[in-house]
Each structure stands twice: as structure tokens, then as C-alpha cells.
Structure 1
Amino acid sequence: MSTQNNITVLFDHQAFEMQKFGGISRYFYELIENLPLHSELSLRLTTNHYLREGACRPFQGMYVPERPYKWFKGIVKQWNRKGSIKRLHRGDYDLFHPTYYHPYFLEELPANKPYVITVHDMNHELFSASLGRAEQMKAWKHETILHASRVIAISEQTKADLLHFLPVEEDKIDVIYHGIQQQKQPYNGLHLPERYVLYVGDRNGYKNFDRFWNVFVRLAAEDQHLCLICTGKPWRSREQERIEKSGLNKRVLHFQANDLELGQLFQQARLFVYPSLYEGFGIPILEAFLNECPVALSRASCFPEVAADAGEYFNPEDEVSMYEALSHLLKDEERRQELIAKGKSRVQLFTWEETARKKLDTYQKVLNGY
């Protein structure tokens, strides 16, 4: 049995290979940095922003700022996979924590080495029709979850959904929330409109962007100075056509923002809107709280669990409800300030140090045979 001081946890390449930025790779980066034990990362080559030179001690591979995506889908993917398999075979670690759901490791992991899996959401189960390769992903995901020694769910909502879809023993699941860096980073490098609503992330399917767009068009007609800023993937042709047809070209902006720029976008926004039908957790809620941005969000999924009374809620399937919430928050400065104050208090409950402490408890349960 290992003690806290000499536990070694091995993480693999998956999340850091598939994301340059993103919630899952950020989660594992923060976990590795904050765990009070020895961590190792089996990754040979990455474009991941969080692993840039010197940013992560256990990463001994090569960081390349730019490489074609297809290149990473081919030879580098194979190289990273072979490196992880080789590292698994060495066996000089106490516990393995894969960073995503591909089950390549099940036949490679020594019989005496347990593993823990983190479940970030059940999107592929809930929204199969709108997500690519959903059936394959579900098969991989279910196999890795069902063979794990313990399972970490990032919210009570995720735990409930997991129990709904899979025959997992409830006492094998630990709910451990995400954290966020508690220091607000001042930055003023972007030239931004005076009044704008901020939308962050993907815009497909369950993200419910289409309903929100209809609401924004109505708000923009009432307020000639109101703009919309979106981050995430570039506009698709269908979206660009819709913007042009609306006549709002000059009032709808897109940024592919880094962490500093995203902070500024939150800090100067009139409000941040999160209209998703479902999320596993909702990190942007905490980012808004940290940067003193009022939040209007869905009364659905895990959102009330994360935001509590620090958000202005609406029914995400009702455009009238969404419009009323956003309109109220845009016009009522007293309510905006009230939510800013509540958000500043709420975000202090979510630290990476606390996340790492609870992860360590999970690891110790596994190593002690629980």
C-alpha cells in the first residue's frame, strides 16, 4: 500500500493530443499541477497550449505550437499511443488515470494496476443524433467505465445520468467538482464594443444557440448599440448567411480567444449567456463569476448545482423565458451588481486545490482496496 508521499499516478496522452485548448485537457493539466503526489504523463508530442515549454513539470515530450490537424490524426497519434503502451508495460506506478475514453489500455495495463476514469458528461448518450461517431464513442466509454476501479463524476447531474445509462455501483462513483484559478488576470488588448452579450463555446445541437440567436435578434432590434460576441470555432457557412440576412454583420463579432483575451471578454460584457440544454459541469459559469460578469443561464442540467442563486435563470426551451431573463439583466443595473457580488462569493467554493484534494482521496480509496 502506498502512502500519500510516494504514490505515483500515470496519466496518458489522449486529452492532450485531441485538444489545443479545452475543458478536458485543462482539467487534467490543473489536476497534475495541484496533486500533492508524483505524477507522470505519457505523451511524446503535443500542440496543447497548457503544455507549452516549462508549463507542466511531468511533461517530458515535445511541444509544437502549430501542426496540421491531419498530421496529428495519423503518425503522431500512433507514436503517442505506442509511447503510452510502452509506459504502461513498465509498471513503475501505483495507479493509472486515462485522460479520455479510448480503451486501448485495457489489454496493456498490468493485472495488478488499478485505474480511475473521469466522466465529464453523458452527451453521447443523450444527444447521439447530433454528435459524430456517437455509437463508437459510447462503446469505448462504457467499456472503460465498467472496468474502472473507481469513477469520478464532475457533478451530481453527471452521476445521475451515468447511473441512468450504465449498471455502475453507486458507491464506486465519487462526485468531484471542477475548480478554477482564483486570480483574475487584467488584460486590455482587445478593442471591444461598449455594449455586448457574450457567448462562449460550440454552437451545435444541444448548445441551443439557435434559440438564443432568435432572442438576440429581438434584443438587438430594441437596442441599436447592443452587440454579440461569440468565441469558439469559426462561423460555418450557414451561420454566416444567417448573420448577413439579419443585417447585423457589424454587430456580431467572433474571436478565437486565448485565456487572457477570454478574461477581457468576460470583464467587459454586459452579461454572459449560457443557453445549453445540457452540460456535465459548465466551467464558463465560473469564469464569468471570477471576472465579475453577470450570468444568464438555463435552469437545466447541472447549472443550478454550480451557479446556485448567482445567476439569472430561464427555461432554455422557451424563447420568451430567455428573452425576459436577458432583457431584465441588460436593463436592471441593480440586479447586475447583485449577481456580480453573488458570483464573486460563489466562485470561491471551486478551487483546483480542493479538486485535487478530493482526487487524492479517490486514489487512496482505490489503493486501499475500497
Structure 2
Amino acid sequence: MRVLFDHQILDAQAHGGVSRYFHQLISNLEGRDLATVQLPPAYTDNTCFRPLLAELGLQRDGVRSRLMQGLRKTGLPRKEIERVWRRTKRRHNRQASIEKLKQQDFDLFHPTYYDPYFLDHLEGKPFVLTIYDMIHEMFPGYFKPDDKTSEHKALLAMEAAGIIAISSCTKADILRYIDVDPEKIEVIHLASPLTGESEEIAVPGRYILHVGERCRYKNFRALLAAFAGLAATFPDLHLVCASPKRFDRSELDLIQRLGLADRCVSLSVNDAQLTFLYRHAALLIFPSLYEGFGLPVLEAFACDCPVVLSDTSCLPEIAGDAALYFDPADVASIEGTLSFLLSNSTLRQALIHRGRERLQRFSWATTAERTAAVYKKCLTDGSRYGKPDAVAAGGRAAGP
């Protein structure tokens, strides 16, 4: 069974949960002889895929790549350099994916994001679509008016031979917004991508940890307000944020107004350093209003870090009884839950134990095996792109 993946997530992310998912999926499909994986050659800054592409001889580091690396060292505005580089990568990588599609040397296609560019090049071959979340549909005001993600997602969901949802919550949300056959959607959970390797870095003596993006639906401002309320009770406590992006001006202004300038730290870290942060944190705080899965939850479990979570979306599905929960819309709820765990060492140890147990439910081997089963079903059933297995999307369709 030959499965072709494309370039999209290599362009979209230098780091991130979706690229981690596909890196682990591809590695386990190949490593367990579940499928023969094909990838296009690509220019990429993606930290997960650069070593894999180099190993396969598919990493493109030609003149364009060296040119952009050189430009980054000049005095040109960084944003303009990165914009040109992203556009250049996207154009060349998309063409490389199209060339692989035209060769037709595959049985099934698995795009890594929602651009429907490939539909005209499948020539009847089936494709499987992974839907990670329905954030664009649930929070449209957080995105630009010309953002086509929802439109493209609905189109591909209708045309796909099979759909993978990374949580039961995500499946339910798909069915709320896109009118597709529920039988077409298979829920397949992810797992922790951390290997256990740890690299020590300088950190405050006692800190709570936030991992990942801090954009609007991530609810970071509410976390800062809750943390400010804890400052007097826990004078030695800091907030460490692990993310490729440093605090922006609006975040720095809020941190300053709340009197937290010497209590908040932003760090860009690799996986080994992230493991160190989890292992030495008082807890992981995850205040998001919505998630499709929540990989940091399992990462924390893998590193014996207790977890405090929003009680929304998929997070209770993933963490079960191995976390404490709060209402992310209520700053007092966030503050009170943090304070309760920070003051209770017995509960902290109990959550660490439950986290270890909960983690056993998730493995990349299972993710790959169940994904391969979806591929085989789509091929065996004779499902093909364009088969009318769903009616047209009608916006906010009625859910189950």
C-alpha cells in the first residue's frame, strides 16, 4: 500500500502539533511496515521534517535556500525576508507535490492540510483527510474575512474517501458544521511525541508552565490575570511560556500593567529542553477555550508533570481523571484551581500517578495501525474522489 503525503504542513509550520502528528505517523507507518510512504522533495524550516527529508534525500537546500539564509543575516526587515521566503517555498513545494501526484505512483493520498489544489490531479485515486479541529468554524471572528480554511475543509470533507478526527469532540464538531456521513469519520487519538531525552536550561526556581501558542482562543490573557491574583500568595512563583514566539508588544504591556514583569519568562526550546521544563514545573496550565486534541497534556503526563486544564472541548476526553479542571471563562476559577494544586503536594503526586496511567492509552503505534486500517478500508471499499457520499455543506448543519 503506497501512501503519498504532501508539502502543506511543511510550509505552514516550523514547529507545531500538526507537523508532529504527521512526522510520527509517517515514521510509524514506515517503521512498522504498514505502508510505503512517499513524500515530495521540499524546502522547509520545519524542525520535525528536516532530518527526515535529509535522510530520504528529499530536503531541498539549493540556491534559494542558501540565499534566504544569507538574507536573514543582512539588515533587511526580517518580516519582509520571511514573507518572501514563505512565498517562495510554498510555490516550489506545491509544484513538487503536483509532480508527485501526476506520476500516479501511489495508491492513496493523504494531504497534510486543507488546500484543495490536488483535486484536479488525483485521477480517480482516493484520499483521506485528517481534520484537527473546527476552530475556524467556531471562532470565525478570530480570523481574517478572506480566510478560506472553513470553505476548503468542507469541500475536502465531502470529497474524501475517509476522514480522520483526532478526538471524539472533533468528530462531533465536524458533524455540527459539515453535513457528512458520520460513518465516514474515524476517531484516532494521537500520542506524546517526546522521546524522554532531556537538556537542562536556566529556569526560575519555581514555576508553572504554559506550552504553545498564545493567540486569542488560547485564552492567555485570562491566564495572566489569574496568575496576577496568585502573585502575593506565592511570591516565589513564576510563569514560564515555551513557544517559538516571544511575548509580543500587547502581551508585554499587559504583563507590565499587572506588575508581572519579573515573574514571566518566554523561552524558545527544542524537545529535549521542553522535556526538562515539564519535569521541573510545578504544573502545566492549559487555559485554551478550544482544542482539537491537546498534545501538551500527554507530553506533561510523559514527564510526570501535573496538569490543570480548561473543562472545554476535547480536554476532558484526553486527560480524564488525571487533571484538575477550571472554567476558562472565569478568571477566579483559573486562579482558585491553580492555588489549590500549588498548595496540595499529596494531590500533585496523585495526579502524576494518574497521568502515567492515562498515558498508557495513547501510542503512536496504535495511531499508525488504525490509520493504516482506514487507508485499507478506503481502498477495499472502492471509495474514490468525487463519489457522492455526502451532500453539499450547508454552513451550520444540524448535528447528531
Aligned to 2:204: 193
Q: After superposing the two structures, state which structure 1 stretch, 197-206 or 48-57, moved more.
A: 48-57
Aligned to 1:71: 84
* Runs of 5+ consecutive residues of structure 1 not aligned to the other structure: 1-6
Say if 2:192 is the partner of 1:180: yes
Say if 2:87 is the partner of 1:89: no
Say if 2:4 is the partner of 1:10: yes
Q: Paired residues, what number? A: 362
AA aligned to 2:202 is: H
* Runs of 5+ consecutive residues of structure 2 not aligned to the other structure: 70-80, 384-400
- Normalising to structure 2: TM-score of the pair? 0.87
Aligned to 2:222: 211
Question: Aligned with 2:213: secondary structure?
Answer: coil
Say if 2:157 is the partner of 1:145: yes
In structure 1, distance between residues paired with 2:172 and 2:195: 32
Question: Aligned with 1:46: secondary structure?
Answer: coil
Query: Cα 1:182–1:216, aligned 2, differ >3 Å: closer, same or farther?
Result: closer
In structure 1, distance between residues paired with 2:57 and 2:330: 46
In structure 2, distance between residues paired with 1:22 and 1:78: 21
Aligned to 2:271: 259
Matches within 5 A, 1:105-254: 105-111=118-124, 113-132=125-144, 135-181=147-193, 183-188=195-200, 190-232=201-243, 233-254=245-266
Using the TM superposition, give the Cα deviation of residue 195 of structure 1 relative to its aligned residue in structure 2, in angstroms.
Answer: 0.9
User: What's the RMSD between the two structures over aligned residues?
Assistant: 1.7
Query: Cα 1:134–1:308, aligned 2, differ >3 Å: closer, same or farther?
Result: farther
Question: Aligned with 1:342: secondary structure?
Answer: helix
In structure 1, distance between residues paired with 2:146 and 2:380: 35
Aligned to 2:390: none
In structure 1, distance between residues paired with 2:54 and 2:310: 35
In structure 1, distance between residues paired with 2:256 and 2:327: 28
- Residues 34 and 352 of structure 1 are in contact (CA less than 8 Å); yes or no, is this contact kept in structure 2? yes
Aligned to 2:46: 48
Aligned to 1:80: 93
Using the TM superposition, give the Cα deviation of residue 58 of structure 1 relative to its aligned residue in structure 2, in angstroms.
Answer: 4.7
AA aligned to 2:59 is: G
Query: Cα 1:299–1:59, aligned 2, differ >3 Å: closer, same or farther?
Result: farther
AA aligned to 2:214 is: R
- Residues 40 and 58 of structure 1 are in contact (CA less than 8 Å); yes or no, is this contact kept in structure 2? no
In structure 2, distance between residues paired with 1:54 and 1:137: 28
Query: Cα 1:109–1:72, aligned 2, differ >3 Å: closer, same or farther?
Result: farther
Aligned to 1:328: 340
Question: Aligned with 2:265: secondary structure?
Answer: strand
Question: Aligned with 1:301: secondary structure?
Answer: coil
In structure 1, distance between residues paired with 2:220 and 2:89: 34
Using the TM superposition, give the Cα deviation of residue 131 of structure 1 relative to its aligned residue in structure 2, in angstroms.
Answer: 2.2
Query: Cα 1:59–1:354, aligned 2, differ >3 Å: closer, same or farther?
Result: farther
Query: Cα 1:71–1:43, aligned 2, differ >3 Å: closer, same or farther?
Result: farther
Listed one character per residue, the Cα deviations across residues 103-155 of structure 1 (whole Å, up to 9, x for unaligned) are: 000111112x1000000000000011012356411111111111100000000
Aligned to 1:103: 116
Q: Which structure has more RCO (C-alpha within 8 Å, separation ≥ 6)?
A: 2
Aligned to 1:4: none
Aligned to 1:3: none
